[in-house]
Structure 1
Amino acid sequence: MGTRPALALLDILRGEGVDRVFGNPGTTELPFLAALSQTENAPEYVLGVHEGAVVAMADGYARATGRPAFVSLHVAAGLANGLIGLLNARRSRTPLVVTAGQQDRRHLQQDPMLSGDLVTLAAPAVKAAYDIQHAHDLPLALRRAFALAVRPPAGPVLLSIPMDVLTEDTEVEIPAPTPAPPPGPAPGIERAAVLLGGAARPAIVAGDGVGREDALGALVRTAEACGATVHHQPMADCLNFPTTHPLYAGMLPPRHDAIRAALAPYDVLLIAGAHAFTPHHYTPGPALPPGLTVVQLDSDPDEIGRNFPAEAGLVGHLDPSLHRLADLLRDRVPDRTAKGRMLRAGERHAVERDRVESAARAAYSPAPIAPWAAAHAVARGLPPGAAVVEEAITVGLLLRRLVRLDSPGSYTHTVGGGLGWGIGAAVGRALAEPGRPVVAVLGDGSALFGLQGLWSAARQSAPVLFVVMGNGAYRTLQDAYEAMGGQGPCPGSDLGSLDFTRAAGFFGVDAVRAESAQHLRELVAGAGELTGPLLVDVPIRP
């Protein structure tokens, strides 16, 4: 027996575990909204007042829950507003299923207002896009979208659905879901064990695939089994290795010359779940130093050998693959050798950590606060179990060197680079993990792009601490301008003095200005006691 199209859509959403719809509706979504209002146990509709915030909330929610989030956008204009979030999601490999309501098919040829080629518009920002022209195609396409969104490489999938498709006077069949096969270790692990086990100076680059696939514990076992020094991939999106571990050497800088220098001391390198090292600024030459033997492991076969040759290229789910590799390495590397390497690495890394810690503490002062001190205040103020959502650009680079985190999901960023993600992503994470303190660390320039997300934070009473680092400029642009030898002030980079407490008040969010680094630390420490959103405006020294 069949089901009406709009109700079939809801049935599939419930079956796929969707408990929230993130959206900003228009007339083309009215049939869907009607079905939501008339259905028991329907997903909650989470309203955003701009599609950028809508997609960012869904992004944060999907990362926290580990399953695709569902987004509802409105025609060409709404999709265009949401594209920045979809670009971020694609780069960060966040699984989203997105519907965009199209105008009624019966007058599409007349070019009605707000209509457009939604599939072509979305194509660069999504894994796949489907143009639904018949009601009986909708259930199959929707099932396909959920499966494709999580298949490596994960990402957003779009369905363009004309308004009248959902109101067709017909019944459609709902296909049953197909369980995904259980993940297994990659073939060829034995070869990887031979290479790493025979290394004199092994190292590992912990890519974002480790965090996405919940393989952090497995990577720790692998690193400890051979005593390999571990670096985060450049501009890592999540915590892929505990920053408290003695083998942890910090994040690789996002430039090929700096990566090459950092990796020069090693003879064998395991690259686990990293997307091609993603440089930011161009520097000549390859990322890897000559003579380095590379073992590359990824769940996405397209990553193997993508930007550099690998002696052993392995395709498989990271968690079972790394556990198997750790077992093999324990048979090949003497325990005393691995522990000796870890002891020496821990001593080196402790010296660097102490140096950074001392410099940051020495910078404490009343506002305006030095960037090092602001980053330190946040890092040391974090309550136990906190999740950091970071879009602070310049201060964020300092924060990464100071945080002491060891639990999965405790640090989130987007390598997509589309500003305005942080506020919405933090709201989405708070909705997904009630009871977990969420601290969003934002640059003032980034916050300006996503202010509308504060409306949803207030509407949802999301207990998020928004920490806005206000240096009054696009500081990273000014730094790059100076590095390239620019003369005089950098045009178009000065934001001036901004009062974010007033912006927060407009959206109904409580706010306070940090009076000193110590005051900021105390405010961050109280994040776990929040019952609603609070914004902290932090004046930063230029």
Structure 2
Amino acid sequence: MRTVRESILDVLRARGITTVFGNPGSTELPMLKRFPEDFRYVLGLQEAVVVGMADGFALASRTTSLVNLHTGPGTGNAMGAILNARANRTPMVVTAGQQVRAMLTMEALLSNPQATLLPQPAVKWAYEPPRPADAPAALARAVQIAETPPHGPVFLSLPMDDFDAELTEQEDRAGQAAAARRITHAAAPDAATVAGLADRISRARSAVLVVGDDVDASGAWDAVLALAERTGLPVWAAPVSARVSFPRSHPQFRGDLAPAIGPLGRQLEGHDLVVVIGAPVFRYYPYIPGAHLPEGTELVLLTRDAEEAARAPVGDAVVADLALTVRALVERLPAAGAPVPAPHEQVRFPEAADGTLTPLAALTAIAQGAPENTLWVNESPSNVPQFHEATRIGTPDSYLFSAGGGLGFGAAAAVGAQLGAPHRPVVCVIGDGSIHYAVQALWTAAAYKVPVTFVVLSNAKYAILHWFAQLEHAQGAPGLDIPGLDVTAVADGYGVRTHRAQGAGELTKLVRDAAAQQDGPVLIDVPVTTELPSL
């Protein structure tokens, strides 16, 4: 008779999930013993890093990732990263060990007494199988739920004594049958809905498109580009976008909408119809009151997420597959005349008097050194406008940023992304404050020789918080500066090769050389000036 462990491994094989991101504890060892040669285990030194790596891996590879955590303490340590994965809509199965069933009632050491409640509401589904025999089918169900739009993490609590339990032939077959099921998610809108929306676009005096993360994530990039070029409409990026979903050098691209109600509403003045594709309406922070839309402006949201449609404060919504919907729109809309390109003036900032690079000067040098097919991971939140100005990303699946608003994504996600897309160079641009939220990811990169190029923009402060302090009239708040950090010394301790760039030319060469090699990670520290964002 086969065991639960053997059946679970076959469920994972059937779903193509053979990489495990984990930090093992005693309750996980029964799952991991006699670890099979066709699986890969990627060790992280802290659970939030483990989940962050799995997040980047899933997003870069367009697969479902698997995480293995240590019962309640490990799950608790990982919660911030799981929240980020939910915001990123990452298909991820998070497993955690559990005490043996015989000692759960007495809540023996390392019992998780509320295992399915602890990760909520960060996960789409949380479950602890009632019997050992149910674990393989539960895992198969977890994968299906994670892969159902909107994608997101799910959680399974697995008692440690389940894995050696023997299954009957019928129980084993049930788990494998569940794993073999394939569900297609491609809901198309009815013809009348498409015709109605096409008519609204055609009748609009001045329509505009707003594109969000799910355009890139769902594979609708080409369809949205075709829609924009057929209609000649201007295109904005939704506020606080975590992906690039339209070529940022395209003549119809207008930039990023502000993440605040009043300023965003003013940006849309002059448009009588706003068509939002694959984004929430809208991702706001900070709170600056005003009208969500200008007077007389209508809005239509195209989304795969029914909850996203329900919580939008204004406008109508169509819940359907984005690529199918947009392609159907393209077929119904007449070709427009040549669009008027947006004026674009590239702003250059000189070096400071002491030779320190401005963020834009540093990011321009980084972009000049990075290969054309770079997969960018960004966690320098105060420098996002300069990043996009310098990189002008124009291809899908080329940019990752955390949609959750919390730090700790960048360094870990970059390692996972490189593992998930080994054919592409990964360059991680990250602040000196941000990197220390997941600095243990450097050890994993070094230990597994993952050739990520980390470029740390160092200004010895949480610059984004200085900006918020201005907006919130909270000047004088403590804890916004972080002097005394030596990220190269830390990285050296983890086994990462390091450099400190002294100028733009040297920085470009260091990035070019780092991205061209495959011998392991490289970290480049770049002192920069501080420039606060603006709305």
Inter-partner Cα distance in structure 2 for 1:218 and 1:364:
44
What is the aligned partner in structure 2 of residue 496 from structure 1? 483
**1:179 matches 2:201:** no
What is the aligned partner in structure 2 of residue 48 from structure 1? 44
What one-letter code is carried by the residue in structure 2 that aligns with 1:335?
A: A
Inter-partner Cα distance in structure 2 for 1:287 and 1:517:
42
Whether the 8 Å contact between 2:292 and 2:314 is mirrored in structure 1 is no
Whether the 8 Å contact between 2:206 and 2:273 is mirrored in structure 1 is yes
Whether the 8 Å contact between 2:346 and 2:389 is mirrored in structure 1 is no
What is the aligned partner in structure 2 of residue 329 from structure 1? 333
Q: Secondary structure at the match of 2:295?
A: coil
Cα deviations by residue, 1:289-313 (Å, 9 ceiling, x for unpaired):
22112121111122225223334x2
Q: Secondary structure at the match of 1:164?
A: coil
What is the aligned partner in structure 2 of residue 27 from structure 1? 26
Q: Report 1:121-520 matches (<5 A).
A: 121-171=118-168, 172-173=171-172, 174-176=175-177, 177-181=180-184, 183-187=186-190, 188-311=193-316, 313-330=317-334, 334-336=335-337, 339=338, 342=339, 344=340, 346=341, 348-350=342-344, 354-356=345-347, 359-360=348-349, 362-363=350-351, 367-487=355-475, 489-520=476-507
Inter-partner Cα distance in structure 1 for 2:352 and 2:234:
32
Q: Secondary structure at the match of 1:122?
A: coil
Whether the 8 Å contact between 1:131 and 1:161 is mirrored in structure 2 is yes
The Cα shift of 1:40 comes to 4.8
Whether the 8 Å contact between 2:360 and 2:390 is mirrored in structure 1 is no
Cα deviations by residue, 1:204-238 (Å, 9 ceiling, x for unpaired):
11011101101111100011111111111111111
What one-letter code is carried by the residue in structure 2 that aligns with 1:20?
A: T
Higher fraction of helix: 1
Whether the 8 Å contact between 2:427 and 2:515 is mirrored in structure 1 is no
Inter-partner Cα distance in structure 2 for 1:153 and 1:539:
39
* Structure 1 segments unaligned to the other structure (5+ residues): none
Using a 3 Å threshold, how does the CA distance of structure 1 residues 503 and 12 change in structure 2: closer, same or farther? same
Inter-partner Cα distance in structure 1 for 2:117 and 2:336:
56
Inter-partner Cα distance in structure 2 for 1:495 and 1:244:
36
What one-letter code is carried by the residue in structure 2 that aligns with 1:122?
A: P
Inter-partner Cα distance in structure 2 for 1:280 and 1:527:
36
Whether the 8 Å contact between 1:462 and 1:533 is mirrored in structure 2 is yes
* Structure 2 segments unaligned to the other structure (5+ residues): 531-535
Whether the 8 Å contact between 2:278 and 2:322 is mirrored in structure 1 is yes
What one-letter code is carried by the residue in structure 2 that aligns with 1:318?
A: L
Inter-partner Cα distance in structure 1 for 2:434 and 2:315:
37
What is the aligned partner in structure 1 of residue 533 from structure 2? none
User: Structure 1 runs of 4+ off > 6 angstroms?
Assistant: none
Task: Give the % identical residues.
Answer: 36
Using a 3 Å threshold, how does the CA distance of structure 1 residues 404 and 29 change in structure 2: closer, same or farther? same
What one-letter code is carried by the residue in structure 2 that aligns with 1:508?
A: G
Inter-partner Cα distance in structure 2 for 1:196 and 1:99:
46
Cα deviations by residue, 1:14-70 (Å, 9 ceiling, x for unpaired):
11111200001111111211142xx352x2011111111110110001001112101
Inter-partner Cα distance in structure 2 for 1:292 and 1:18:
46
What one-letter code is carried by the residue in structure 2 that aligns with 1:263?
A: L
Query: Could you tell me the TM-score, scaled by structure 2's length?
Result: 0.93
What is the aligned partner in structure 2 of residue 78 from structure 1? 74
Whether the 8 Å contact between 1:389 and 1:422 is mirrored in structure 2 is yes
Q: Secondary structure at the match of 1:419?
A: coil
What is the aligned partner in structure 2 of residue 104 from structure 1? 100
Whether the 8 Å contact between 2:7 and 2:176 is mirrored in structure 1 is no
Whether the 8 Å contact between 1:511 and 1:534 is mirrored in structure 2 is yes
Whether the 8 Å contact between 2:367 and 2:390 is mirrored in structure 1 is yes
Inter-partner Cα distance in structure 2 for 1:389 and 1:355:
22
What one-letter code is carried by the residue in structure 1 that aligns with 2:157?
A: S
Cα deviations by residue, 1:477-535 (Å, 9 ceiling, x for unpaired):
11221233344x43111100321110110000000001012322222233431221000
The Cα shift of 1:184 comes to 4.6
The Cα shift of 1:133 comes to 2.8
The Cα shift of 1:366 comes to 6.5
What one-letter code is carried by the residue in structure 1 that aligns with 2:22?
A: G
Inter-partner Cα distance in structure 2 for 1:500 and 1:127:
36
The Cα shift of 1:405 comes to 1.4
What is the aligned partner in structure 2 of residue 120 from structure 1? 117
What is the aligned partner in structure 2 of residue 11 from structure 1? 10
Inter-partner Cα distance in structure 2 for 1:210 and 1:364:
39
The Cα shift of 1:278 comes to 1.3
Inter-partner Cα distance in structure 1 for 2:314 and 2:265:
15
Cα deviations by residue, 1:422-462 (Å, 9 ceiling, x for unpaired):
11100111111113110001111110111000010001111
Inter-partner Cα distance in structure 2 for 1:525 and 1:265:
44
Whether the 8 Å contact between 2:63 and 2:91 is mirrored in structure 1 is yes
Inter-partner Cα distance in structure 2 for 1:151 and 1:399:
32
Whether the 8 Å contact between 2:149 and 2:185 is mirrored in structure 1 is no
Query: Could you tell me the TM-score, scaled by structure 1's length?
Result: 0.92
Using a 3 Å threshold, how does the CA distance of structure 1 residues 5 and 387 change in structure 2: closer, same or farther? same
Inter-partner Cα distance in structure 2 for 1:89 and 1:225:
35
Q: Secondary structure at the match of 1:27?
A: coil
